[in-house]
Amino acid sequence: MKKITLHLIILLFSINCFSQLFTKKKIMNNENFDKPKLSWGYYLGSNSFDFNFDYKSDLYDIQTEKNTGFNVGLIGNFRISDFFDLRFEPGLVMSNRNLIYNPLGFGMTEFQPNLHLREVKSTYIYFPLLLKVSALRFNNFKPYLLGGISTALNLSSKQDNVNDNSLGEFRTKKNVLFYEIGFGIDLYLEWFKFSPSIRGVFAISDELVADDDPNSPWTGNIDFMKTSGIMINFTFQ
């Protein structure tokens, strides 16, 4: 019943948005909304993060089982011109991934979860600085591109944990540097601006904290481990 109610609310909201955008009368909502130099807002969204691995030798690949994560944060927007904005979007990004190892890499044939499965939780305090490049506004919508860099502090990294995979702990680094690029659309509604967007997020820095044993079956063959993923945000201003 709750799911049906939620779907009805989303449907009604979408119908209202599109009726305002594509009405024949072409009423301009919030015509001067983008004029102030500074504006604020917030966003909610979801993510799907993966790990990309570079290996030292061609042995057994590590599979990543992805789960849907959650994003929430604030937006500070500085208007440079009619087409360019500088955006700071500090927030909280939560992600959960499972690493699945091939038992053959351990000299075994049967999968044992306590050895061949590692859960990697990430709770990022996220600081992106982005350039937003907008097209001309048409009626009540305006498409845009955005891109930039971000840094994040991973509160779930376990970097300082003395235990490693031999005791069941997969460790990652606290500080991560990303670049990101995406697109979205500004929808000018009667009382506010609603902006759905999608972006790709790609780590530049290595996130792996290797096990103490250089021949560890969990990390010994990993040369580089980086996050890549997709974020979908819904912004309200």
**Using one digit for the tens of pLDDT, what is the confidence trace for 110-147?**
899 888 999 999 999 999 999 999 999 888 989 999 99
- Mean pLDDT across the stretch 161-183? 93
- Mean pLDDT across the stretch 171-195? 94
- Mean pLDDT across the stretch 162-170? 90
* Confidence grade of residue 12 (pLDDT, cut at 50, 70, 90): very low
- Mean pLDDT across the stretch 37-65? 93
Terminal C-alpha separation, the chain = 31
**Alpha-carbon span 77 to 85, nearest angstrom:** 7
Q: Name, in order, each residue with C-beta under 8 angstroms of 41's C-beta and a sequence gap of 6 or more.
A: 74, 75, 77, 193, 235, 236, 237
**Residue 7: what pLDDT?**
41
Residue 208 pLDDT more than 90? yes
**Residue 50: what pLDDT?**
95
Domain, as residue range, for 133:
2-236
Mean pLDDT of all residues belonging to the chain: 88
* Confidence grade of residue 1 (pLDDT, cut at 50, 70, 90): very low
With CA atoms as reference, report the closest residue to 118 among 96, 105, 99. 99
Please indicate whether residue 30 or residue 80 has the higher confidence score (pLDDT).
80
**Residue 107: what pLDDT?**
86
* Confidence grade of residue 10 (pLDDT, cut at 50, 70, 90): very low
Please indicate whether residue 4 or residue 206 has the higher confidence score (pLDDT).
206
- pTM for the predicted model, two decimal places: 0.81
**Residue 11: what pLDDT?**
38
Residue 17 pLDDT more than 60? no
Residue 45 pLDDT more than 80? yes
Domain count, the chain: 1
Residue 23 pLDDT more than 90? no
Please indicate whether residue 218 or residue 7 has the higher confidence score (pLDDT).
218
CATH number of the domain at 68, please. 2.40.160.20
Query: Which letter, b or e, does each residue of 76-115 get, where b requires 16 or more Cβ atoms within 10 Å of its Cβ?
Result: ebebeeeeebebebebebbbbbebebeeebeeeeeeeeeb
**Residue 26: what pLDDT?**
65
**Alpha-carbon span 158 to 119, nearest angstrom:** 12
